Amino acid sequence: MALTKAVIVNVDGGGHAIPVMFNPPSYSLSRSNQYKERRVPGHSSAIMEYVSGTADSLSTEFFFDTTDSGIDVRTCTNAIENLTLPLPRTNTPPQLKLIWGSLAFRCYIVSVRAEFNYFNSIGVPLRAKLQVEFKGEEVADAVADAASLASLLVMPGQTLLDIAARRYQDPARWRALAEANNIDDPRKIPPGTRLKLPGQP
């Protein structure tokens, strides 16, 4: 039985899903910790002190081939490369979810390296490989949820529904945001307003 095709879901883009052309042959997951060295006078070695963990990193390679249709392969690769660009309303790249089989990895793209290796007679690329690195969101979420109240600066065009959908993955939580910030109209928030963000109930 063929494995379901991997998709990259743009969580901040209305849940739009970008299917990969071919499933990657593999992916690698890594996690690391940060330590600092504490020097002790009179000792030849340092004591290692734990500082924090880091977000999980997932690296994989996507392959694209448009030789059958003859169209520029960049029409396919650009959809993934553009996910590194900041959104106008948040000034940050979109939050994503990489879904493939049992893998559901909430993340951001931190790097994309494109290699074009086959061209038609006039130099239009028809094959490409994208080496993509995703950074997981779990650590950032855990830190944010641990705080009873965090804050967020409202960007132009943002509404409470947008913020609730991004922050809590639940647009209905705009009411909690409105109550925490004494807002009467959730659709009219002056840009630059700093909102209190209640923690998860």
Full set of structural domains in the chain with CATH: 7-139 (2.40.30.200), 147-198 (3.10.350.10)
What digits encode the pLDDT tens for the residues 119-174? 999 999 999 999 999 998 754 444 444 443 467 778 777 888 888 887 788 888 88
CB atoms within 10 A of CB 192: 9
Confidence (pLDDT) at 142 = 42
Given the structure tokens 């309303």, which residue do they identify? 89
CB atoms within 10 A of CB 4: 11
CB atoms within 10 A of CB 43: 8
Confidence (pLDDT) at 150 = 65
Confidence (pLDDT) at 166 = 79
| Residue among 56, 51, 57 nearest 34 (CA) | 51
The mean pLDDT value for 185-191 works out to 80
CA end-to-end distance (rounded Å), the chain: 42
Confidence (pLDDT) at 64 = 96
